[in-house]
Structure 1
């Protein structure tokens, strides 16, 4: 049973993310402002994490210097607030399937950004290096396919959503639709910022190693930042009301379950099995989202979504395979790459 536990947990994590995409898309389709949603999500996450950080990290957390605070503030703004705001607008313009698909390509995006920053090395003439390079290219091809190839449409014969909203969605993803292209661009930008956040927070957390307090501080700062953005763009009081409805469920779920429970479970899986094992299961979220959005939201499945999703999965596994082989052979040394700031970033041979 102990052996099976990491598999059960990682499947649960991907299910949590699939539900997040579906709930977010559902409330956006019902008219909830995306910027208000991000504020409430981060505020609820702060409420959830703050007591935990106080009880578990208050005695061990190191003093917070002004320079480190500024770094965390900027990291929160670009990697959390701006990334989530762009993701929310993109999700309102596109579909839950696209959001899940681009998220599945995050390991490839993160590796590419780490390569540009000199935190990774790429030996393009080695088998492992070629696999990682091919993976990046194939992943980019998958994103382009999702964005540009939106026909033919396939809709399941039954769903649980209203017919009128299905027609609206058909109009949005019509061939060459400007709204869909705009949404894809925003989604890619959001994931680039998210990937950059993953890469850079590894450097910032060295200066402030209290992980729980570090995460709570990011959520708190992001709450303030997202509130300023939301109040500037949405002045209608009615848009801020939650009530006992789907809006409240969505923000509580994203704040408590996604940011709180899923964060802890991911840390546990990485500790038990490593980051590669966790990343290997990210396509499961795409599959769950694709089927659930078609059944529950009546999202129209296009051939481009299927082909693009397959390309993203292939690209992801190419990068993960190359990365794991380098780790097994002892060729991967990010710390060494960081020390060699003046060396060429791409090694041939």
Structure 2
């Protein structure tokens, strides 16, 4: 039980990435059916707001602090640049590139988050200590894995492709879904995707500071989802004038909206904010590659998508990088506790060697 208690944050992030894997599969199916990506974001955030609001009211009715105008403005900007724009840019980029490229480049989020956190001095980096070197090595491995997946395909692995003829119609493509009449471009899509990841990484990094100003986690998440609903609605109405885009039937689109709204924008956001408070933004971002690996495996099993050697090799590098960062982070935390214990207990400085060997 003690071990399980110490690994709560890790288990929460693994569960979060399982939710994101499901989001990738369901949202892909909804967009393939012709659903507008801008409208999808609106319904997703609105569903999350409705699902979270009762819990925020009941559980934090006496805990939520007063909301000043300055704090509200900060939350509004975080919602705009961290949630609304990141999702709109991400789904817009999918119309100009492939889903495979999107899944590969999402692995750059840990590296981007790490750089932003270090620049803002929210993440410590001691180049001379083993835990600092492990964190750097882990980020490099994750970035290398993303590059391998993006640039190297290799031979296909047909081990998991066991019922392609049953579920996949002849000639169907399952790795990309550009919008009607739109062609994939080599520059626009990647630039939009990269901008989306910078926006999301910035949101992750700034959450820890936002929690100091407004510590009610559920209420903060609900308010951000509400503001994002309003913001994305304005963008959707301004860009997409087709009224039929807003019609939802009892189909995969509705299932995808409910799943992404309740479980992804609702549950996963709360879990991530909690983990950011406990472990920091870099710790949270390092788990993002897991959803891509899980999505690739499930897609190969269910949709019979081809899994290539380059994807497997990149996945191994990503998992290795994740392990190095988590190991370095745990060693850093342990060393900080030992240093604090030595400082408070008055132990001579020559005992600091014990910290280095821990």
Task: Single out whichever of 18-27 and 311-320 deviates more from structure 2.
Answer: 311-320
Give the corresponding residue for 2:223.
Answer: 217
Give the corresponding residue for 2:121.
Answer: 118
Is the aligned partner of 1:165 residue 2:183?
A: no
Task: Tell me how far apart the structure 1 counterparts of residues 253 and 269 of structure 2 sit (CA, whole Å).
Answer: 22
RMSD: 3.5
Report the TM-score when normalising by structure 2. 0.78
Alpha-carbon shift at residue 313 of structure 1 (Å): 2.1
Alpha-carbon shift at residue 294 of structure 1 (Å): 2.4
Indicate the SS of the match to 1:311: helix
Alpha-carbon shift at residue 178 of structure 1 (Å): 5.4
The structure with more radius of gyration: 2
Picking from 23, 26, 37, the partner of 1:23 is 26
Question: Once the two structures are superposed, what CA deviation does each residue of 1:213-238 show, in whole Å capped at 9, x if it has no partner?
Answer: 11111000100111111112211112
Change (3 A) 1:51 1:170: closer
Question: Once the two structures are superposed, what CA deviation does each residue of 1:89-142 show, in whole Å capped at 9, x if it has no partner?
Answer: 334555666555555554443222110111122222322222222222222222
Report the TM-score when normalising by structure 1. 0.80
CA contact (8 A) 1:13 1:262 kept: yes
How many matched pairs?
A: 328
Give the corresponding residue for 1:61.
Answer: 64
Query: Can you give the 5+ residue segments of structure 1 that lack an aligned partner in the other structure?
Result: 334-349
Is the aligned partner of 1:292 residue 2:295?
A: no
CA contact (8 A) 2:97 2:184 kept: no
Give the corresponding residue for 1:341.
Answer: none
Is the aligned partner of 1:319 residue 2:300?
A: no
Is the aligned partner of 1:44 residue 2:84?
A: no
Question: Once the two structures are superposed, what CA deviation does each residue of 1:204-260 show, in whole Å capped at 9, x if it has no partner?
Answer: 221111111111110001001111111122111122211101000000001112233
Alpha-carbon shift at residue 68 of structure 1 (Å): 0.8
Give the corresponding residue for 1:201.
Answer: 207
Give the corresponding residue for 1:339.
Answer: none
Indicate the SS of the match to 2:195: helix
Task: Tell me how far apart the structure 2 counterparts of residues 130 and 119 of structure 1 sit (CA, whole Å).
Answer: 17
Change (3 A) 1:265 1:284: same
Is the aligned partner of 1:238 residue 2:244?
A: yes
Query: Can you give the 5+ residue segments of structure 2 that lack an aligned partner in the other structure?
Result: 340-358
Indicate the SS of the match to 1:196: helix
Alpha-carbon shift at residue 37 of structure 1 (Å): 0.7
